[in-house]
Amino acid sequence: MNAVGIDVSKGKSTVTIRQPGDVVVLAPRDYRHTQSSINDLITTIKCLEGETKVCMEHTGRYYEPMASWLSAAGIFVSAVNPWLIKDFGNESIRTPKTDKADAKKIARFALDRWAKLPQYSRMDELRNQLKTMNRQFGFYMDQKTAMKNNLIALLDQTFPGANCFFDSPARSDGSQKWVDFVYTYWHVDCVRSKSLEAFTEHYKNWCKRKGYNFSAAKAEEVYLAAADLIAVFPKDDYTKLLIRQAVAMLNIASETVETLRIKMDQTASQLPEYPVVMEMDGVGATLGPQLIAEIGDVTRFKHRGALTAFAGVDPRANESGDYKRVSNPTSKKGSPHLRKTLFQIMDGLIQRSPADNPVYAFMDKKRAQGKPYYVYMTAGANKFLRIYYGKVNAYLSPTEGAEDS
């Protein structure tokens, strides 16, 4: 038995090889994440006699070059959740945190869990791309929110409340009517300096040019509101520059978000579980691809509990002697990105209140019992994942799905 412990970091990994009885085959050594360096490691591993297993932590994206390259060479690779290794074998008060020490701990962990090590299966190219797009989608959504708040803060100084005049949804290119409106009418004096008739005609032409619906009543509403507003910043070129720059930045972020949203749906539609996932109540063209991206291949989970643990929505057991805690907090040791998506789905169900939906009925029951918001939302997410596992697993592997249900 040769346990290869690899502590992964950015650009390089520290590797050690151990055998039972803490026999050192290879002292901790650094390998760069380059083809030549990893090929040297592959040669070293393949020269070993007996069975060999490689174990590493799946930390972010750093482990993927090493794991995929070794796996492609026909070597058994296991990428383990860092939480499982974190406190393993801490038999001393002094617990050094170095790459060499971590590599040794991972090798000892591999020997101890030898028969139970899950084999690494690299996500196919589509799943990998989808997951990366989802992370970028979340990043640009945060940027869009920041840009939107920045623009509203500036408008409070030039045209307070202008962002509330229209509630039209975003177009396919991410543009919104209120954003386009303040690009042209960036100051209250852009409206009230004209007569009502002149502004109405100007606004009508603007709507026609931009492709928006025109309403004379809305034009009058905007005009009367502008006539009574107080602007802090003067109507000059500096103020105009600030507003239009903020609008331009928001439009760029919005366009990127909508482009990624469409691309994610197109990519997810090529995966086998897409049709069954999209049929689930509460899942749409945005949340469906996000859910598929963060869960990945559901068949890699041996049972429903493994999926809920991966999401961190499984309750932690707390028992000792005759003591047994009734209400346990969730572990929250899984994917925060998946939990965020699940909570968005639960929030949508709460808002729509579909009476025939079992997940909503379960949350509503918990809510009626007086459970706090986070408790019934987490419970709903747990139930949703169990249903997801059963439906998708049955769709992908009918025999296994029937046995699991």
Per-residue pLDDT tens over the stretch 90-133: 665 556 667 788 888 888 888 888 888 888 876 667 888 899 89
- Residue range 127-156: mean pLDDT, rounded: 93
Q: State the Cα torsion 351-357-359-363 to the nearest 10°.
A: 50
* Higher-confidence position of 196 and 93: 196
Mention every residue, 6+ apart, whose C-beta is less than 8 A from residue 393: 298, 299, 400, 401, 404
Question: Could you identify the residue written with the tokens 């929110």?
Answer: 145
Collapsed DSSP state (helix, strand, coil) of residue 353: coil
For 313, the 3-state DSSP assignment is: coil
Share of the chain above pLDDT 90, in %: 46
Element of type H or E holding 178:
helix 177-184
pLDDT digits (tens, 9 = 90+) for 210-240: 999 999 999 999 999 999 999 999 999 999 9
Choice among 32-36, 142-146, 193-197 with the minimum mean pLDDT: 32-36
Higher pLDDT, residue 360 or 400: 360
CATH topology of domain 2-122: Nucleotidyltransferase; domain 5 (3.30.420)
pLDDT in tens, 310-339: 888 876 554 445 444 455 556 566 788 999
The pLDDT tens digits of the residues spanning 43-90 come to 988 888 889 998 988 776 777 778 888 888 888 988 887 777 776 766
